[in-house]
A and B are shown apart, each in its own frame.
Chain A
Amino acid sequence: AQKITQTQPGMFVQEKEAVTLDCTYDTSDQSYGLFWYKQPSSGEMIFLIYQGSYDEQNATEGRYSLNFQKARKSANLVISASQLGDSAMYFCAMRLKMNYGGATNKLIFGTGTLLAVQP
């Protein structure tokens, strides 16, 4: 089954410290993409970072980096130097091809991790 698992319902981190949010995925496809989104209390889903299954290097976007371990099927998000504004829900998501091999923009989401940054 194609699935995203986020095992941390909630996390606390001190301001200016780094934090790792866990994500494991399950798919037998060779070609897939992994995404992290941030959802503040306002509800909008904000794209943070993307990792392709064939990308050899871990993706980085500013303070965000994705620790991609393909053999372990994990795609953990690392936020460096946490800020109060990072407090939000974080979702890991995966995009696959359709059963017949065609293209799709459908995303499969995990259950999310609620991050609280403390001053």
Chain B
Amino acid sequence: KAGVTQTPRYLIKTRGQQVTLSCSPISGHRSVSWYQQTPGQGLQFLFEYFSETQRNKGNFPGRFSGRQFSNSRSEMNVSTLELGDSALYLCASSPLEGERVGYEQYFGPGTRLTVT
């Protein structure tokens, strides 16, 4: 079974631009979560989707948005990029809505975004 895939793997953008990152979960998984990882702030939760609905959102400005499609693939968008948005963006998939606090999430390889 293929794992979680994220595209692109590396990205360089300029301040003020916008960027779209893509995540394809493991086949059959309906939940996708996004995380931002930086040396200063560590791993921070961005948002979570299940069956095309955003179920939870982290403490990030409105420049960060996301969506999930009917095939469970998810995209996140960052508009008006700032230098501080340079980070590794990780996507995770789970098979179910988190009804039971009892199963793992599988992460993709991440997209490393550099804002210059």
Q: Which residues of A contact B (CB under 8 A)?
A: 31-33, 35, 37, 42-47, 50, 52-53, 91, 93, 95-98, 102-112
Contact = CB atoms under 8 A, between A and B. Distances in A.
A43 B110 contact: yes
A84 B94 CA distance: 30
A43 B105 contact: no
A99 to B, nearest CB: 10
A44 B108 contact: yes
A52 B102 contact: yes
What does DSSP make chain A's interface, helix, strand, loop or mixed? loop
27 contacts: A33-B102, A33-B103, A35-B105, A43-B88, A43-B109, A44-B110, A45-B92, A47-B106, A47-B107, A97-B98, A102-B55, A103-B97, A103-B99, A103-B100, A105-B50, A105-B55, A105-B92, A105-B97, A105-B98, A106-B48, A106-B58, A107-B43, A107-B45, A107-B105, A108-B45, A109-B42, A109-B43
B101 A53 contact: yes
A44 B56 contact: no
Contacts of A95: 98, 101
B90 A105 contact: no
B101 A111 contact: no
Contacts of A42: 109
Interface string B13-35: 00000000000000000010101
A103 B98 contact: yes
Contacts of B97: 103, 105
B104 A43 contact: no
Most-contacted residue by chain A among B31, B48, B58, B98 (CB, 10 A): B98
5 A-B pairs with least C-beta separation:
A45-B107, A103-B98, A109-B43, A33-B101, A105-B98
B67 interface: no
Most-contacted residue by chain B among A44, A45, A93, A103 (CB, 10 A): A45
Interface in B38-89: 42-43, 45, 48, 50, 55-56, 58, 88
